Amino acid sequence: MTTVIEKNQKSGRLEVGTPLLEVKDLHVEFHTRDGVAKAVNGVNYSVAAGETLAVLGESGSGKSVTAQTIMGILDMPPGKISQGQILFRGKDMLAMKEEERRQIRGQKIAMIFQDALSSLNPVMTVGAQLGEMFRVHRGASKKEAREKAIELMERVRIPAARQRVGDYPHQFSGGMRQRIMIAMALSMEPDLIIADEPTTALDVTVQAQVMDLLAELQAEYNMGLILITHDLGVVADVADKIAVMYAGRIVETAPVRDLYANPAHPYTKGLLRSIPRLDQKGQELYAIKGLPPNLLKVPAGCAFNPRCDVATDLCRTEIPALHQVTDKDGKELTGRRSACHLWKETLHG
Amino acid sequence: MAEPILEVKDLVKHYPLTQGILFKKQVGAVKAVDGISFDLMKGETLGIVGESGCGKSTLAKVLMNLERATSGQVLFKGEDISKLTGQALKAVRRNIQMVFQDPYTSLNPRMTVGDIIGEPFEIHPEVAPKGDRRKAVQDLLDVVGLNPEYINRYPHQFSGGQRQRIGIARGLALKPEIIICDEPVSALDVSVQAQVINLLDQLQGEFGLSYMFIAHDLSIVRHISDRVGVMYLGKMVEIGSDEEIYDNATHPYTQALLSAVPVPDPTARETRDRIILTGDIPSPANPPSGCRFRTRCWKAEERCSTEVPLLAVPELLKGPAAHQSACHFAEVRETAAV
Amino acid sequence: MSDTITKDASAPAGDNSPKATPAKKEKPERVASLWSDAVRDLRRNPLFIIGGVLVLALIVISIVPGWFTDGSPFANGACDLSHSLERPSAEHWFGYDVQGCDIYTRTVWGARNSIIVGILTTTTVTVVGALLGLWAGWKGGVIDSILSRITEIFFSIPTLLGGMLIMSMLPFAGNAYSVSLVMAVLGWPQIFRIMRASVLSNKNNDYVMAARALGAGAGRITFRHILPNAIAPVIVVAAISLGVFIGAEAALSYLGIGVQPPQISWGLMISDAQVRFLAAPHVLLFPAAVLSVTVLAFIMLGDAVRDALDPKLR
């Protein structure tokens, strides 16, 4: 945990390790014409100040729905929170009044979206959009808000911020727009940032810049960061711990190094194996067979069983619990859990 | 070495920028592809990498004759196909087909799978006699790993990976010799990408296809390609075998690109030597003079702004470093990337 | 992420390997296509059946009104002023109008003109507007500019003024055909605009590109790929505007360019009845109700056809 200690020295408003957000047994379903889709099915995770949690999953895994539920921006209907708690600093946000939640949203928890262009208002200058928060929440004057906007743009290293504060979103490049989104998220100095695929729409060289910026700002303010992504490379670069989701459940959690070095769930293992590696050149790639499940018809037992190489009869009937993972001597491994009946064989076999 | 099946010579595609409604006046041009030359060998896979706006998708469209080249030549087995029209163009289309990026928009939602894969036969009736078409479509479904009984279904009844298989079956129908794959897996779920890559690999062996594989995912390109070309702002900046490009890149842009790719290995976090480029890609309507990469390059000198570097093998370099690179200061970077 | 949900939900049911057998086995002989599937779908759609029966009945009524009433409204003594504005009764279901004519008989005999105006105008407007819209949207450039400017000119002409202008140039006037012609000339730009916009949003899809890459000609691309994907909003608007046309015919009658008495049309009946609506509401209500049912029937048909042409709703 050297990185965390380092972050602590640098700054900050928050004590590192302060628990910020805890999601407890969250269930979200969507009522569609064809039936009820259980998008989130008993998800638990937590983030502390200064910590980066990566939520890894494919489309339909429930990773974005969970984030939208935390932010309170889930479309209801068709969505419905059927069970669970979302504790922000110990208080359940789902039990709060809308007014109270709104105080948290944007000010305490901010979100960065994948598509910066459609998240920004095309007919307002970026300066006005950045300053708006200060005018609404802090009662700043027009001039103060403008100064704040320039300051924020400089913080996210937009060149010539003073000249560009009056420009419109379309006049910025994709990478710059994503920076503006980050600036907006930072404007109220939130405790927690949720970034939903923040760099997926960006090019590799720009992606590197934006991820670096995000990591640096996080360290400086000691914010918690939930990074939602499908990109194993990005996760390896920035995350402290990982939650892997599949068909609305968390199938594995682990500190980042442990997960990559030695996965304890066959799905994680399969994902890591399917990355093309140098020594496999000219050979067939390892591919997880089959398709991601239809949420209306999730297979019985472990949702991954039809695609799993090691599935047994037990896997086809009984939903595996999220087991605490131990090493060969039976010693518990911190932060490691796996929702697989065969986690021992997967991890040690 | 195998003979080239496709030779691209000094290909240029400019989109004119015009002003005025009634009397249009050209005020400039977006130089999407600006003088590109390369060969595609029979049976090989040529990977093309580059970031958005580098012109790789425009290149694909020009090669497919979906866009007219502004100048330059595209020789298919020695014959220039870039200026063909009418029946001659239609005939040559049989030889070059394409697999599209987005499996959700590349299949007509109001056609059945049978109609989609059978359409090539309707357009080119000589390929399959009318009575055999249904059988031919079912065979194609089988080849790409889909159940032939799916023939009466519609695209929305399939997942992304399956749709991409349908798109591949359509591309194969005319028994082409070349298939241009424009980001064929980037819209797919991670766990499905490998399946599609394996399928493309297997089909290449089975039908002796030559691929031009356009992608931004460098690890996938490396896996599937025999040779790799790197594009930046409408120019090919470096081209060579996969080893030459990935382990011995001599162009600064290639080096930066390779170093920026997130590596799925957390232990490499601290040890990696990354080049973080500053700034964005300049507009292709107004590219920098001289070397187009100079505005973001840490090696740039006076010469780079005046003299356009040519894509050639640098004289001083030896071994795997001696491959075509368009940089005045081409050299292998000390720390190995990826 | 409701988007993700639908995407997932659309994968074949219970299908977790690409080669799994389809849940429902289809007969191998059946060759499906959009149109054959649409017809199959329509035959099972109650909306289509109800709408279809109603429309069919209306057409029969307008061809042979004599089958449905005893007398003709044009016969001598068909109207009797002594019955003026009499309320509906067991023998005279719809009552009498101000002239003492039986409203039921007039409604039945008026169907012909109204149905002709409705169907003829809608068909002409839809075919002309859709084809021109398809052409403009597909070709773009100069053709699009010219056609779009022309529609703008048509939009700027006030309907009544334009109607009088066209009528004055016509060698025949005052019947259902002239009315249809006038309204078609003035009405096509609306459909044109909808079609053009719809084509523009569809023509840049990759499947159009894919068809071009296969060597498909302009005809195949426009009629097989673009038209089926762009037609849905046109069908909806066309079905709704059918009712509007039937009603608008009455307005033209005021100017002496619509259907003229002693001819009968629902539009005429409604506009005549308006003045005495408070005193004798039945005179207005019955023809208006019949008009509403007619419009509803066509809208049902339109909806059914639109849905049948969208495989996603199947």
What is the predicted ipTM? 0.85
Residues of B in contact with A280 (CB under 8 A): 223
Distance CA A246, CA A305 (A): 11
Write down which chains contact chain C via at least 3 CB pairs under 8 A: A, B
Closest CB to B152: pick one of C11, C20, C26: C26
With H, G, I as helix, E, B as strand and everything else as coil, classify residue B302. Answer: helix
Distance CA B79, CA A275 (A): 40
pLDDT band at A13, cuts 50/70/90? low
Q: Do C311 and B134 touch (CB under 8 A)?
A: no
Question: What is the distance, to the nearest Å, from the Cα of residue B314 to the centroid of all Cα atoms in its chain?
Answer: 25
Q: Smallest Cα–Cα separation from A55: which of A198, A253, A263, A213? A: A253
Tokens of B154: 């519609």
Whether pLDDT at A11 is above 70:
no
Whether pLDDT at B314 is above 90:
no
Distance CA A64, CA C3 (A): 11
pLDDT band at B62, cuts 50/70/90? very high
Q: Helix axis angle, C281-308 relative to C46-63, nearest 10°?
A: 130
- At residue C254, the pLDDT reads 62
Write down which chains contact chain B via at least 3 CB pairs under 8 A: A, C
pLDDT tens by residue, A229-288: 888 888 888 889 999 999 999 999 999 999 988 899 999 999 988 888 766 677 788 888
Distance CA C205, CA C225 (A): 10
Is the bond preceding A72 in cis, omega lying within 30 degrees of 0?
no
- The 8-class DSSP code of residue A182 comes to H
With H, G, I as helix, E, B as strand and everything else as coil, classify residue C11. Answer: coil
pLDDT tens by residue, C202-256: 888 889 999 999 988 888 999 999 998 998 889 888 888 887 888 787 777 666 6
Q: Do A276 and B276 touch (CB under 8 A)?
A: no
Tell me whether residue B176 is in a domain.
no
Q: Which residue of B has its CA nearest to C12?
A: B157
Is the bond preceding A299 in cis, omega lying within 30 degrees of 0?
no
Q: What are phi and psi of B39, to 5 degrees?
A: -115, 145
Q: Which residue of A has its CA nearest to C4?
A: A60
Torsion region of C94: left, alpha or beta (phi above 0 gives left; psi -120 to 50 gives alpha): alpha
Q: Decide: B210 and B6 in contact? Cβ < 8 Å.
A: yes
Contacting A residues, span 7-46, partner chain C, CB-CB under 8 Å: 30, 32, 34, 37, 39
Tell me whether residue B241 is in a domain.
yes
Q: Is B226 on the interface with A (CB under 8 A)?
A: no
Whether pLDDT at C160 is above 90:
no
Q: Is C5 on the interface with A (CB under 8 A)?
A: yes
Q: For chain C, which domains are there?
A: 94-308 (1.10.3720.10)
Average pLDDT, chain A: 84
The amino acid at residue C294 is: T
The continuous run of DSSP H or E covering A43 comes out as strand A35-48
Q: Smallest Cα–Cα separation from C17: which of A230, B154, B147? A: B147
Tell me whether residue B280 is in a domain.
yes
Between β-strands A323-326 and A241-246, what pairing exists: parallel, antiparallel or unpaired? unpaired
Whether pLDDT at C4 is above 50:
no
DSSP lists the bridge partners of residue B26 as B18
Tell me whether residue B100 is in a domain.
no
- At residue C6, the pLDDT reads 38
Contacting A residues, span 290-319, partner chain C, CB-CB under 8 Å: 290-297, 299, 306-307
The tokens 């896979």 sit on which residue?
B45
Please list, in sequence order, all residues whose beta carbon lies within 8 angstroms of the beta carbon of residue A322, skipping any fewer than 6 positions away. Answer: A44, A250, A253, A337, A338, A339
**Percent of chain A's residues with pLDDT above 70:** 95
Q: Which residue of C has its CA nearest to A288?
A: C17
Question: What is the distance, to the nearest Å, from the Cα of residue A239 to the centroid of all Cα atoms in its chain?
Answer: 10
pLDDT tens by residue, C67-81: 888 777 777 777 777
Between β-strands B210-215 and B178-182, what pairing exists: parallel, antiparallel or unpaired? parallel
Contacting A residues, span 307-336, partner chain B, CB-CB under 8 Å: 307
Mean pLDDT of A170-175: 82
pLDDT band at C259, cuts 50/70/90? confident
Mean pLDDT of A138-151: 86
Q: Is C13 on the interface with A (CB under 8 A)?
A: yes
pLDDT tens by residue, A292-304: 888 888 888 999 9
pLDDT band at B337, cuts 50/70/90? very low
- The 8-class DSSP code of residue B336 comes to P
pLDDT band at C82, cuts 50/70/90? confident
Tell me whether residue B270 is in a domain.
yes
Residue C93 or B239, more confident: B239
Average pLDDT, chain C: 81
pLDDT tens by residue, C128-146: 999 999 999 998 888 899 9
Q: Is A285 on the interface with B (CB under 8 A)?
A: yes
Tokens of A83: 């069970």
The number of distinct structural domains making up chain B is 1
Distance CA C247, CA B300 (A): 75
Residue C78 or B306, more confident: B306
Please list, in sequence order, all residues whose beta carbon lies within 8 angstroms of the beta carbon of residue B218, skipping any fewer than 6 positions away. Answer: A204, B49, B246, B257, B258, B261, B338
Q: Is B18 on the interface with C (CB under 8 A)?
A: no
Q: Smallest Cα–Cα separation from A85: which of A65, A69, A107? A: A69
pLDDT tens by residue, A178-236: 888 888 888 888 889 999 888 877 777 778 878 888 888 888 888 899 999 888 888 88
pLDDT band at B179, cuts 50/70/90? very high
Q: Is A123 on the interface with B (CB under 8 A)?
A: no
Residues of B in contact with C34 (CB under 8 A): 110-112, 115
With H, G, I as helix, E, B as strand and everything else as coil, classify residue C2. Answer: helix
- At residue A1, the pLDDT reads 37
Q: Do B145 and C19 touch (CB under 8 A)?
A: yes
Distance CA C294, CA A268 (A): 61
Q: Do B156 and C212 touch (CB under 8 A)?
A: no
The tokens 């988007």 sit on which residue?
C3
With H, G, I as helix, E, B as strand and everything else as coil, classify residue A70. Answer: helix
Q: Residue C92: is it exposed, middle or buried by C-beta count within 10 angstroms (0-12/13-18/19+)? A: middle
Q: Do A272 and B264 touch (CB under 8 A)?
A: yes
- At residue B213, the pLDDT reads 94
Average pLDDT, chain B: 88
Q: Is C23 on the interface with A (CB under 8 A)?
A: no
Q: Is the dihedral of CA B101, B103, B108, B111 positive or negative?
A: positive
Contacting A residues, span 54-93, partner chain B, CB-CB under 8 Å: 58-59
Q: Do B277 and A209 touch (CB under 8 A)?
A: yes
pLDDT band at B323, cuts 50/70/90? very high
CA dist list (Å): A37 to A40, A78, B162, C68, C118? 9, 10, 21, 54, 45
Distance CA C132, CA C147 (A): 8
Residues of B in contact with C37 (CB under 8 A): 112
Closest CB to C205: pick one of B94, B105, B120: B105
**Percent of chain C's residues with pLDDT above 90:** 21
- At residue A3, the pLDDT reads 40
Q: Please give the order of strands across the beta sheet that includes A79-88.
A: A35-48, A19-32, A79-88, A91-92
Domain interval for residue B31: 4-43+53-84+229-325
- The 8-class DSSP code of residue A123 comes to T
Q: Smallest Cα–Cα separation from C269: which of C88, C159, C122, C114? A: C114
Whether pLDDT at C60 is above 90:
yes
pLDDT tens by residue, A315-334: 999 999 898 988 888 888 88
Whether pLDDT at B192 is above 90:
no
State pTM to two decimals.
0.82
Whether pLDDT at B110 is above 70:
yes
Closest CB to A58: pick one of B52, B191, B202: B191
Residues of A in contact with B201 (CB under 8 A): 284
Residue B247 maps to which CATH number? 3.40.50.300
Q: Decide: B190 and A235 in contact? Cβ < 8 Å.
A: no
With H, G, I as helix, E, B as strand and everything else as coil, classify residue B116. Answer: helix
